[in-house]
Amino acid sequence: MSNKRVSYFYNPDVGNFHYGTGHPMKPHRLSVIHSLVLNYGLNNKMQIYRPYKASAHDMCRFHSDEYIDFLQRVTPQNIQAFTKHLSHYNVGDDCPVFYGLFDFCSMYTGASLEGAMKLNNNDCDIAINWSGGLHHAKKFEASGFCYVNDIVIGILELLKYHARVLYIDIDVHHGDGVQEAFYLTDRVMTVSFHKYGNYFFPGTGDMYEIGAESGRYYSVNVPLKEGIDDASYWQVFKPVILNVMDFFQPTAIVLQCGADSLANDRLGCFSLSTKGHGECVKFVRNLNVPTLVVGGGGYTLRNVARCWTYETSLLVDETISNELPYTEYLEFFAPDFTLHPDVVIRRENANSRQYLEAITKYVYDNLKMIQHSPSVQMQDIPGDAFIDDNKTKEEDPDVRISQELEDKTVEAKNEFYDGDKDHDREEMET
């Protein structure tokens, strides 16, 4: 389905943060992805925004005031003063304190929040925030490299306008933070496809976790075994999502595209190719429901960059070459320099057809238990998270362009050099 209006959110500073030497989470991957997106010319097919930065108030729509206050105040320099708080907020090894921690959270959370707002206001059909998708963060603590749960905050914004929101998670790890946040409600259905068993992090996501109280049957878990390949994944993904769409009938979707489910990920154990992973994204896109697309896990940098660049092309419905364009990061992709390298399968697929069919049947039987397309009594719609209007505030006449105004600016079509079609070159030649 073509002609979708796509908004893409990217802060050029978000790739400059560093979790610390040896830590598997590399925000630098976001700079590499953006460079590929530009050099493939995909920026010409969507609106690129420098996103809003989320405030502490925005984050406290889900997280506790005390936890967000801690994230604002703790730094590597004053960490000694917060020693007793570190274990309380689960900050330490997996979730280290690094320079600019709160700024980093503000950037990726603000982008998901603004994406949700643009969908609510019908400014786009698809909103992309590859810096988001940090699905493990809990109300009172950090978890699994995640500090602020931008997904939950984005969904809360969507719920202002949408009676039913569907959350789909294809990260190799269970989307526990999002499931926990909406475990008791029938307005959000969470569907997670993930590795389960053998003490694999986070240890949740059994298929018998189905929700409770009003949310009973609104949590859907598809626990998978190691080594699952494209064909097996598709065998379970397609029928589960079709059944969910049929019974739940969401009016908005949030899709978490964790790339640690790709083959040979540093922390993952699945065997998906970029094309197989992308097939899920394409399938959700073709459901024709307003969709917020976010990143997530992914710890082999070159593979994450390939995957999310390819999925950006699918979301804007543009075919791109298997040969990677020249960028300043090209050496990362040696020796093949291709978008879709051959997948080297190092793990046997432990998921039998019978096992996958049994899970699919169990999910279907549970979905039959929910009230078909549940009606939600909508009250007055609360205001937007922030006012997206340049005229609301008097600008300082002594400042040429304020940072706030610059952050709201959509990147112009001629912002990025585009070879022979470059707009600036045309102006110079006339």
Q: What confidence score (pLDDT) does residue 156 get? A: 98
Tell me which amino acid residue 419 is.
Answer: G
Model pLDDT, residue 3: 82
Question: Length of the chain in residues, anyone?
Answer: 430
The distance from CA 143 to its chain's CA centroid, rounded to whole angstroms, is 16
Q: Are residues 179 and 192 in contact, defined by beta-carbon separation less than 8 angstroms? A: yes
**Would the pLDDT of 425 be above 70?**
no
| Whether the predicted pLDDT of 316 surpasses 80 | yes
Q: How far apart are CA 359 and CA 365, in angstroms?
A: 10
Rounded to whole angstroms, the Cα distance separating 259 from 67 reads 28
User: Is residue 79 helix, strand or coil?
Assistant: helix
Sign of the CA dihedral with 283 first, then 289, 290, and 295 last: negative
Mean per-residue pLDDT, 339-347: 90
Contact 276, 233 (CB under 8 A): yes
Catalytic residue among 34, 63, 135, 136: 136
**Known binding positions for a divalent metal cation:** 171, 173, 260
Q: What Å distances lie between residue 4 and 210, 314, 315, 416, CA to CA? A: 33, 11, 8, 22
pLDDT digits (tens, 9 = 90+) for 176-210: 999 999 999 999 999 999 999 999 999 999 999 99
Stretch 71-78: mean pLDDT: 97
| pLDDT score for 35 | 98
Contacts of 373 by beta carbon, 8 Å cutoff, 6+ apart: 164, 247, 248, 249
* pLDDT tens digits, one per residue of 324-338: 999 999 999 999 999
Tell me the mean pLDDT in the region 241-265: 97
User: What pLDDT is recorded for position 398?
Assistant: 60
pLDDT band at 414, cuts 50/70/90?
low
Domains and CATH numbers, the chain: 6-379 (3.40.800.20)
Question: Which strands sit side by side in the sheet containing 291-294, from one edge to the other?
Answer: 47-49, 6-9, 126-129, 291-294, 252-256, 165-169, 188-195, 219-224
Q: What is the pLDDT of residue 311?
A: 98
pTM for this prediction: 0.90
Does 228 score more than 60 pLDDT? yes
Q: Cα separation of 210 and 224, whole Å?
A: 16
Asked whether the beta carbons of 168 and 160 are under 8 A apart, the reply is no
Active site residue 372: no
Give CA–CA dist 329/37, Å, rounded.
12
Among 20-29, 43-52, 418-427, the range scoring the smallest mean pLDDT is 418-427
For 146-171, write each residue's pLDDT tens digit. 999 999 999 999 999 999 999 999 99
Question: Binding site for substrate: what residues are annotated?
Answer: 94, 144, 299
Work out the mean pLDDT of the chain and round it to a whole number. 91
CA dist., res. 412 & res. 226, Å (int) = 45
Share of the chain above pLDDT 90, in %: 83
Average pLDDT of span 70-89: 96
Structure confidence by residue, pLDDT tens digits, 89-143: 999 989 999 999 999 999 999 999 999 999 999 999 999 999 999 999 999 999 9
- Calculate the alpha carbon distances from 294 to 107, 171, 191, 325, 426 in Å: 13, 11, 15, 24, 36
Strands 252-256 and 165-169 turn out to be parallel
pLDDT in tens, 358-396: 999 999 999 999 865 455 555 566 677 766 654 444 555
Alpha-carbon distance of 7 to 126, in angstroms, equals: 6
Digit-coded pLDDT (tens) for 254-276: 999 999 999 999 999 999 999 99
Residue tagged 């008791």 (tokens): 184
**Alpha-carbon 142 to chain mean position:** 17
- Provide mean pLDDT across the span 47-74: 98
Give CA–CA dist 93/405, Å, rounded. Answer: 37
Query: In 3D, which of 264, 274, 261 has the Cα closest to residue 340?
Result: 274
**What pLDDT score does 348 carry?**
95
- The yes-or-no verdict on residue 422 having pLDDT over 70 is no
Handedness of CA 114, 117, 121, 126 (dihedral sign): positive
Q: In the predicted model, is pLDDT for residue 302 greater than 70?
A: yes
User: Which residues are registered as beta bridge partners of 143?
Assistant: 146
